[in-house]
């Protein structure tokens, strides 16, 4: 598997918000501006056939209407599956009502987009990939998911946005490499992990590689100045080959 950490920043960071691409065709989270950013980086948007959404905060799904409208304007009927939390379609319709009234149905009728909403733990096979969703804890946002993606005996885990909870350990234990929320420069809170949580995880699982994401600039700075041997602080579009 080839995994690109396209975005590893928080909302306030100059880095793109947390978003990843697997093998050029699975997109994980759709933060504001990601579609144009992917195009600028040279990705072929037509190849994206599967999207995983971790949770319904704007920096994880607000570019979905623009992805859909882009397909509509380009007469692109490539099938695309969006695996997303329960309630996604309702919120998308609301976004369309605000920004592009009357267009949701028109866009859905002229494209080939399938939404697969899920509430809890689930396992979905998409082509050669086995995708497991896991409930994580992200403040008041429910449900919030992490994912583990398996292919050819290799696995990559994504925490989504989460506090340090037992499910994070499970994701790390079941993945060769894990991309984890490290928003904060020291301790975590009820919504996000911090550098000290990630340090604890790296010490606990020394044979595993961890990639930090969703970083405020202060968290990135602390981690760069205090390196941990099995922790990667990714630059733009950092590539991992598993």
- Contacts with Zn ion by CB under 5 A lie at 57, 161
Q: Which is nearer to Zn ion, 161 or 197 (CB)?
A: 161
Closest CB to Zn ion among residues 57, 71: 57
Residue that has been written with the tokens 């490539």 in this structure: 78
- At 232, is the secondary structure helix, strand, or coil? strand
C-beta of 191: minimal distance to Zn ion in Å?
7
Least distance in angstroms from the C-beta of 161 to Zn ion: 4
96, with CB counted inside 10 A (0-12, 13-18, 19+), is buried
Query: Rounded to an integer, what distance in angstroms lies between the CA atom of residue 199 and that of residue 16?
Result: 23
The residue assigned the tokens 């992490």 is 146
- 135/150 with CB nearer Zn ion: 135
Angle at 24 between CA 18 and CA 25, to 5 degrees: 90
Q: Is 86 helix (H, G, I), strand (E, B) or coil?
A: coil
DSSP code per residue over 129-196: EEEEEEEEEETTEEEEEEEEEEETTEEEEE--S--S-HHHHHHHHT-SEEEEE--BSSS--SS--BHH
Measuring CA to CA, how many Å separate 128 from each of 26, 84, 124?
12, 19, 11
Nearest residue (CB) to Zn ion, 69 versus 136? 136
Minimum distance, C-beta of residue 101 to Zn ion, in the bound complex (Å)? 27
Which CB atom, from 18 or from 156, has the smaller least distance to Zn ion? 18
Residue with smaller CB distance to Zn ion, 57 or 135? 57
Shortest separation between residue 57's beta carbon and Zn ion, angstroms: 3
Q: How far is the CB of 130 from Zn ion (least distance, A)?
A: 25
Which residue's entry shows tokens 């920004």?
99
CB of 61 to Zn ion, least distance (A): 10
Q: Which of 12, 5, 6 is nearest to 37 (CA)?
A: 6
């Amino acid at each position: 598997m080839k995994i690109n950490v396209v975005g590893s920043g928080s909302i306030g960071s100059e880095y793109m918000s947390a978003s990843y691409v697997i093998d050029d065709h699975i997109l994980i989270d759709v933060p504001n501006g990601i579609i144009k950013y992917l195009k600028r980086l040279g990705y072929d948007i037509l190849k994206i056939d599967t999207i995983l959404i971790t949770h319904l905060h704007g920096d994880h799904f607000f570019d979905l209407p623009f992805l859909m409208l882009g397909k509509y304007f380009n007469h692109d009927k490539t099938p695309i599956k969006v695996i997303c939390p329960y309630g996604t379609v309702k919120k998308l319709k609301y976004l369309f009502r605000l920004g592009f009234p009357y267009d949701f149905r028109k866009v859905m009728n002229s494209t080939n987009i399938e939404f697969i909403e899920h509430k809890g733990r689930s396992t979905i096979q998409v082509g050669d990939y086995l995708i497991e969703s896991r409930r994580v804890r992200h403040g008041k946002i429910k449900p919030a998911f992490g994912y583990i993606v398996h292919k050819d005996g290799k696995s990559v885990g994504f925490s989504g946005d989460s506090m340090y909870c037992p499910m994070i350990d499970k994701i790390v234990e079941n993945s060769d490499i894990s991309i984890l929320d490290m928003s904060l420069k020291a301790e975590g809170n009820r919504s996000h992990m911090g550098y000290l949580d990630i340090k604890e995880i790296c010490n606990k699982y020394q044979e595993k590689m961890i990639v930090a994401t969703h970083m405020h600039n202060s968290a990135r700075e602390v981690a760069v100045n205090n390196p941990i041997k099995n922790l990667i602080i990714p630059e733009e579009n950092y590539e991992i080959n598993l």
